[in-house]
Amino acid sequence: MLVAFARLVALDLTLSWRSLAGPLQDKPSHVRWALGVGLALALHLVAWPVGLYLGARESGFDTVVVRAGVMFVLPWAVASPMSALTRVLAQRGDLDLLLASPVSPRATFTARLLALGLEGVSPAAMLLAPLANVCALQGRPHWLALYPALLAAGLIGASFGAGLALALAFALGPRRARVVSQLMAAAIGGSAALAAQAAAFLPEGVRDRVFSFLQAAPNALALLTLPERAALGEPAALAQWAFAALVAFALAGLMLSGAFARAALLAAGAPAAAGSDRTTRFTADLGAALRRKERRLLWRDPWLLSQMGLQALYTLPIAFILWRNGGVTAQPGVAFAPTLVVIAGQLSASLAWIALCGEEAPDFVATAPATRRQVERAKIAAVALPVALLMAAPLAALAWASLYAATVAGLCAAGAGASGALLMLWRQAPARRGLVLRRHSQSKLVALVEHWLSLCWAGATGMAALGHVAAIAPLGLAALTLWLARPARVSA
């Protein structure tokens, strides 16, 4: 079993690595190595001054940094394997081959669990490992404890995530569980950002009472701070954290492997999801048919919607910070207007990318008796409605705070949305719909232009909301950028 387990872990890690290094796969191996080493060196170079800064601050500052890291890494370490395991069950991939082979389901499951655990913490490891290395080189070797602490976090996260995913699969059925677990994973993954905001918005008195309660209960506090103390290199905490990880992993392997095999069989025999019971509305209008198809596909992919929602959610803290610190003005209306405009631009670009680049049957649509322009126009129109609907509620709330700011935000959101969609229309690069969050890796130049346009529209919104005529400058820059980004001008 051990040999099979090792082989499966190696296979899973190889596949994960290839997926991570996807854009580099077509490069020769020496170029890939050179790029990898170059990236590692660059990250260490960037981390060096950060390490020096951390070293120069008083000793408690390390704790704050690590605590913040733990808050973000732990939820992600649970959410990522949970979502991945549900996908494995639904998409099958090599599952049929593995379960039909003489390899035991336990070996298959534990190998996948280990790989998922490592995958779950690998993004954090890529960012934090250079910092840990340079801090160790600068004379603070306790930072190296990040490695085992992260590994343990991965194992614990994968064990919990797998438990949750399998519980959902049995409770809701494999197909519904897929949707629910993806939404839950998105919520768990974003919980750190939400929790940070919730803490910031608690009234001062309530916040103080929560902290005093935690300080008065040393056992609870010790348990809560265990991963943080482990990551800071406290030997006893590190040992306890590692032990907890091994126990969680072993228990998951022993208790869940049977459930995994049963869930796989359940998923294989699950009937196809039923479509809508509503009467189908046939239409002779090409545009209407395309718009309806795009909206149906979007609505039926809650994972995509949740990911885009989270993307928008991560933009909100900027508005909170602006407001709390009295930036721009201390008025929430003016502080939130640029954020809404950025969200509208990003959502519009993402949805336009899905409709245009993520078309699942491009050849089939190309055989329809319509010009390419007609098809693209219908797709862009399909995108506009969901963006408008998503923006309606926050704009209405903004109007309650400031009608003028809401008007400015509405107009600029329309402009930002149109800019984002136009950019995607002009720079189409076909890909799978699920890769929408990685679309920026398709072309760095297009990604840069998209962010720049968002910045221009946000700047124009902020200035216009304050009544500055200078708002015309960023608007002009946005228009100039779009003009330059027309087809045949950008060489991405």
Partner 1 sequence: MTPALELRSLCKSFGKSFGKPAVDGLDLTVQPGEVYALLGPNGAGKTTTLRMIAGLLPADAGEIRVFGVDARRHPVEAKRLVAWLPDEPQLYDKLDPLEYLEFVAGLWSVAPALARARADELLESLGLSEQRRQRCEGFSKGMRQKVALAGALIHEPCLLMLDEPLTGLDAGSARQVKDILAARVQAGAAIVLTTHILEVAERIATRIGILSRGRLAAEGTFAALRGERAGATLEDVFLDLTRAA
- Smallest gap from residue 386 Cβ to partner 1 (A): 15
Q: At what angle do helices 235-268 and 146-172 cross, to 10 degrees?
A: 30
- Residue 277 within binding range of partner 1, rule CB under 8 A: yes
- Residue 369 within binding range of partner 1, rule CB under 8 A: yes
- Residue 297 within binding range of partner 1, rule CB under 8 A: yes
Q: How many angstroms separate the CA atoms of 436 and 431, rounded? A: 8
Q: Which is nearer to partner 1, 11 or 370 (CB)?
A: 370
In this chain, which of 265, 366, 392, 492 binds partner 1, going by CB under 8 A? 366
Q: What angle do CA 32, 36, 41 make, to 5 degrees?
A: 150
Q: How many angstroms separate the CA atoms of 449 and 442, rounded? A: 13
In this chain, which of 301, 356, 358, 418 binds partner 1, going by CB under 8 A? 301
Q: How many angstroms separate the CA atoms of 462 and 333, rounded? A: 10
- Residue 432 within binding range of partner 1, rule CB under 8 A: no
- Residue 13 within binding range of partner 1, rule CB under 8 A: no
CA distances from 144 to 231, 245, 317 (A): 8, 18, 31
Q: How many angstroms separate the CA atoms of 383 and 5, rounded? A: 46
In this chain, which of 205, 363, 488, 489 binds partner 1, going by CB under 8 A? 363
In this chain, which of 71, 370, 435, 479 binds partner 1, going by CB under 8 A? 370
With b meaning 16 or more CB within 10 Å and e meaning fewer, what string describes 322-347? bbeeeebeebbbbbbbbbbbbbbbbb
- Residue 196 within binding range of partner 1, rule CB under 8 A: no
- Smallest gap from residue 310 Cβ to partner 1 (A): 21
- Residue 431 within binding range of partner 1, rule CB under 8 A: no
- Residue 26 within binding range of partner 1, rule CB under 8 A: no
Q: How many angstroms separate the CA atoms of 332 and 320, rounded? A: 8
Stretch that binds partner 1, among 98-106, 186-194, 250-258, 276-284 (CB under 8 A): 276-284
Q: How many angstroms separate the CA atoms of 406 and 416, rounded? A: 15
In this chain, which of 290, 335, 395, 405 binds partner 1, going by CB under 8 A? 290
- Residue 373 within binding range of partner 1, rule CB under 8 A: no
- Residue 208 within binding range of partner 1, rule CB under 8 A: no
Are 80 and 184 a contacting pair, CB within 8 Å?
Answer: no
Q: Which is nearer to partner 1, 370 or 479 (CB)?
A: 370
- Residue 100 within binding range of partner 1, rule CB under 8 A: no
- Residue 367 within binding range of partner 1, rule CB under 8 A: yes
Stretch that binds partner 1, among 2-10, 247-255, 286-294, 393-401 (CB under 8 A): 286-294
Q: How many angstroms separate the CA atoms of 406 and 52, rounded? A: 45
- Residue 360 within binding range of partner 1, rule CB under 8 A: yes
Structure tokens at 46: 């960037």
Q: How many angstroms separate the CA atoms of 467 and 283, rounded? A: 47
Stretch that binds partner 1, among 46-54, 274-282, 319-327, 381-389 (CB under 8 A): 274-282
Residue 26's CB is within 10 A of a number of other CB atoms, namely: 8
- Torsion angle of C-alpha atoms 114, 119, 125, 126, degrees rounded to 10: 140
**For binding to partner 1 (CB under 8 A), which residues are involved?**
270-277, 280-286, 288-290, 292-293, 296-297, 300-301, 360-371
